């Protein structure tokens, strides 16, 4: 997805070995559709050349405030007025201190000071040694730049160029891209806490084998990401899937339907919206064998007895928080046929305000999908698109429905 189409980003590089990551970050911004204007400090040019950044951005790089290419000799004004955001990556401890002090004796700090703060956000990706990161002066300065309106994106932890290990690494380019994209999304769920279930469950037959389904978890993970982008606190209860956790999302991994039920019920007291995306197994073996069930050569198939799993969505929908209109429930139905009829019946059976239906065989494992929204007034289709685009549309739907639902209208 070209999530940054039409956006003009000033990418500022300060002195630090993490400048090597800025090359990939610039490439990702361009790939996402952004126009990228690179501005570097003199110190940054010691770690990566302006030629490299110009090749990746497709635009001349600015280093000096006296750059004669600007007709009015004011790049600090012109570049800031053209920008939709300024991203400092890497941002050194020294440069953070300069921002706090309002220093403006070189182009990049001058550009940050002169930016129209009400419409051009400043996003900071710190990068430094672990001792520098934890130093009280750095932490005071970070708190102050945040209080002054900048968005501090945090740091990673791991091996550092100096040979030490700890906090202070610049976040990876993919993580920064996700954070920048999120910064541009409308915060329609600010103040809300979403609880999302995603993926399949696995019901053990024995220590080796079990019963599961084709759900990849991609739709639920996309909803978790979209909700976080929209300003919500997000808890994701995930079945056995191999997907990276969306930035800023708290993840709880489970295996079986019972584990998912227990984890979900433990989180509902803090949630204001519950989105049940997971494809939960309807049945589980009545007993799981302690050892692998083996063939005995007789040709006889072993008899397996099953018992029904608890209905997680129905259980939550019957809770006091839902009755008191403190928890809004959204269900998902994966069908193989007659989607509209089955979705309407399931919504009525569960007693929830919104049911989202899709045809499972057409979406499991895919990166795109189409959705059918079913409520008490009827149904509406969201046409096939990427799962993230659909997740953002669904988040907008939920945000728009919450006020009336809370009022009981």
By annotation, the residues acting in catalysis are: 162
Going 394 to 395 to 400 to 402, the CA torsion angle's sign is positive
**Residue 225 vs residues 26, 43, 68, 280: alpha-carbon distances, Å:** 22, 36, 43, 21
For residue 95, the Cα-to-chain-centroid distance in whole angstroms is 28
The answer to whether 277 and 220 are in contact (CB under 8 A) is yes
Task: Label residues 285-304 b or e (16+ Cβ within 10 Å = b).
Answer: beeebeeeeeeeeeeeeeee
Please give the Cα distance from 73 to 153 (Å, whole number).
32
Side-chain-side CA neighbours of residue 355 (13 Å): 28
Nearest to residue 90, comparing CAs of 123, 136, 50?
Answer: 123
User: Which is it for strands 210-211 and 354-359: parallel, antiparallel or unpaired?
Assistant: unpaired
Q: Within 10 A of 50 (CB to CB), how many other CB atoms are there?
A: 17
Tokens (6 digits) for 152: 């501090």
Going 278 to 282 to 285 to 286, the CA torsion angle's sign is positive
């Amino acid at each position: 997805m070209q999530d940054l189409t039409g956006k003009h980003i000033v990418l500022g590089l300060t002195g630090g070995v993490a400048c090597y990551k800025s090359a990939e970050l610039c490439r990702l911004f361009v790939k996402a559709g952004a126009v990228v204007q690179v501005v570097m400090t003199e110190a940054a040019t010691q770690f990566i050349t302006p030629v490299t950044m110009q090749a990746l951005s497709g635009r001349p790089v600015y280093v000096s405030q006296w750059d004669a290419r600007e007709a009015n000799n004011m790049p600090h004004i012109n570049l800031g007025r053209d920008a939709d955001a300024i991203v400092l990556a890497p941002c050194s401890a020294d440069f953070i201190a300069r921002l706090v002090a309002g220093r403006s004796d070189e182009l990049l700090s001058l550009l940050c000071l002169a930016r129209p703060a009400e419409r051009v956000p400043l996003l900071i990706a710190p990068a430094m040694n672990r001792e520098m990161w934890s130093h009280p002066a750095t932490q005071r300065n970070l708190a102050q730049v945040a209080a002054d309106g900048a968005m501090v994106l945090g740091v990673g932890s791991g091996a550092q160029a100096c040979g030490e290990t700890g906090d202070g690494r610049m976040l990876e380019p993919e993580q920064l891209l996700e954070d920048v994209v999120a910064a541009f999304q409308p915060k329609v769920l600010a103040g809300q806490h979403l609880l999302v279930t995603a993926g399949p469950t696995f019901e053990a037959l024995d220590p080796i084998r079990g019963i599961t389904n084709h759900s990849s978890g991609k739709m639920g993970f996309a909803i978790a990401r979209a909700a976080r982008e929209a300003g919500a606190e997000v808890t994701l209860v995930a079945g056995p899937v191999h997907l990276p956790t969306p930035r800023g999302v708290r993840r709880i991994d489970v295996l079986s339907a019972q584990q998912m039920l227990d984890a979900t019920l433990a989180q509902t007291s803090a949630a204001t919206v519950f989105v049940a995306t997971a494809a939960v197994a309807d049945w589980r073996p009545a007993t799981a064998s302690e050892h692998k069930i083996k063939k005995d050569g007789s040709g006889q198939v072993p008899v397996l007895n099953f018992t029904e799993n608890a209905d997680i969505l129905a259980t939550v929908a019957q809770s006091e928080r839902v009755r008191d209109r403190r928890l809004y429930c959204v269900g998902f139905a994966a069908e193989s046929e007659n989607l509209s009829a089955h979705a309407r019946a399931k919504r009525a059976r569960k007693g929830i305000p919104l049911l989202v239906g899709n045809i499972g065989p057409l979406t499991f494992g895919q990166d795109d999908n189409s959705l059918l929204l079913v409520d008490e007034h009827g149904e509406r289709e969201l046409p096939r698109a990427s799962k993230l685009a659909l997740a953002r549309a669904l988040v907008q739907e939920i945000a728009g429905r919450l006020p009336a639902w809370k009022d009981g209208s």
